[in-house]
Amino acid sequence: MNLQSVAAVQAVASQAAAEGDAPLVRLRDVGKAYPLHTSAAGQIASLWAKLRGVPHAASSFQALDGITFDVHRGASTALVGVNGAGKSTLLKIIAGVARPTRGEVTVNGRVGALLELGAGFHPEYTGRENIALGCALAGLSPAQTAERVDDILAFADIGAHVDQPVKHYSSGMVVRLGFAIATSLRPELLITDEVLAVGDESFQRKCIAWMERFLAGGGTLLLCSHSMYHVQKLCQQAAWIHGGKLRLFGSAADVTREYLAWHEERAGEARRPPARGDAAAPPAPDGGGIYHVRRMALNGVEADEPVTVPEGGDLVVSGTVHSPDDRVPQVAVGVVRVDGTPVAGCYSEMDGFALQRVEPHLYAYALTLPRLPLLPGRYVARSHAMDPEGMRMFDHVERRFDVAGTSRETGIVKLEHRWS
């Protein structure tokens, strides 16, 4: 799904609603704006306008803009995006902590939320008192709370600190207690905001084990995380939030692949060579100039958008090379990760292949890479024009391609392996 397909998400969501398939979470054109003030007078004016129920003409920051998607029961969903993209704001709106500026939010089920560190805790209360407070706010009676206290204390595992004020807790202890309370309430939807980023290794394992049991029992998770491993392990679908907008929504495997490719492209921009090399002169329209790649296609497609290749599928790199003196040129074809990490390179001269003359000064080639052993991700294929001696590399043209798949192995290549 590309940037233009967000409208398709809205259409599918509308169709599901029309068919009576009530989602657990329903978001329609959700937006959130925060007023920006540079003075105390501006804050007072904004507050006065809000109290009177009239709009205030102040500049604002659009944290969210037009977010539309559904989360169905059992379809755990991750929110991914860079810091400041609006993920935490969206989670607060779904949890009911914040109200949207516009749009519609519907939640059909019990919600347990782990948002900002310590949110919902009274710093002067002890851990035990905060357990009672949290359970009471969730609608539990004192008797129901008493039934859960032992399980909460066992899961949090903070020892005698449970009788100390929360303001003296470390960040890890706060998360332990918050997670223990939220999980004890047996929610239908558990909202977590980077909860696995805090805490020691043993507690993270405990959290993941609980989440897997929760999901196996029919629970639904709404997870905000920068760990693509956790996203793929725990979620079926993902929403990429970028600049407050929904940039991509789909399966967790597809969204994480696109999101990681975007990061790799950003990292590789600085060291990526130019599309035309350090040539003494540009290609001339009359056929003169230098050796250069005239055309290049991947699996017959000549486009700037990435071509999709199935995991283990074939890739055919084809094109034409211009020869200014009409001697048979050479061509080099390389594959790199989108961040510039080299993967492989092939040379017509080394393999003894002669490009075919298709017209004066123009020679064609085609290189087939069968059964690509590449892991899912975004890659770049480059064709480099070389002189007939294969000594000088003049310029190159590149095309991007995506290897599709759901493998969670790491690295670049897929190595055949077996466990024993």
From the list 202, 208, 247, 248, the residue with the least C-alpha distance to 227 is 208
Q: Does residue 24 lie within any of the structural domains?
A: no
Domain of 318, CATH number, reads 2.60.40.2550
User: How confident is the model over 207-252, as pLDDT tens digits?
Assistant: 878 888 888 888 999 988 888 878 888 899 999 999 999 999 999 9
Q: Does residue 83 lie within any of the structural domains?
A: no
Q: Are 89 and 64 in contact (CB under 8 A)?
A: yes
Q: Does residue 330 lie within any of the structural domains?
A: yes
Q: Does residue 395 lie within any of the structural domains?
A: yes
pLDDT of 9 strictly over 70? no
Q: Which amino acid is at 372?
A: L
Q: Does residue 40 lie within any of the structural domains?
A: no
pLDDT of 30 strictly over 80? yes
The DSSP string of 341-371 is -EEEEEEHHHHT--PEEEETTEEEEEEEE-S
- Per-residue pLDDT, averaged over 68-80, amounts to 93
From the list 5, 2, 1, 6, the residue with the least C-alpha distance to 245 is 6
**357 pLDDT band (50/70/90 cuts)?**
very high
Q: What's the CA gap between 185 and 218, in Å, rounded?
A: 15
Q: Which pair of structure tokens corresponds to residue 346?
A: 């092939």
Q: What's the CA gap between 159 and 156, in Å, rounded?
A: 8
Q: Does residue 140 lie within any of the structural domains?
A: no
* 386: containing domain: 292-404
Task: Domain count for the chain, please give it.
Answer: 1
Which residue is listed with tokens 């200014």? 324
Residue 256 φ/ψ, nearest 5 degrees:
-65, -35
Q: Does residue 309 lie within any of the structural domains?
A: yes
Q: Does residue 191 lie within any of the structural domains?
A: no
CA 400 to chain centre: 19
- Per-residue pLDDT, averaged over 320-338, amounts to 93
Q: What is the pLDDT of residue 273?
A: 52
Q: What is the pLDDT of residue 7?
A: 43
User: How confident is the model over 275-312, as pLDDT tens digits?
Assistant: 443 333 444 544 457 899 999 999 999 988 999 999 99
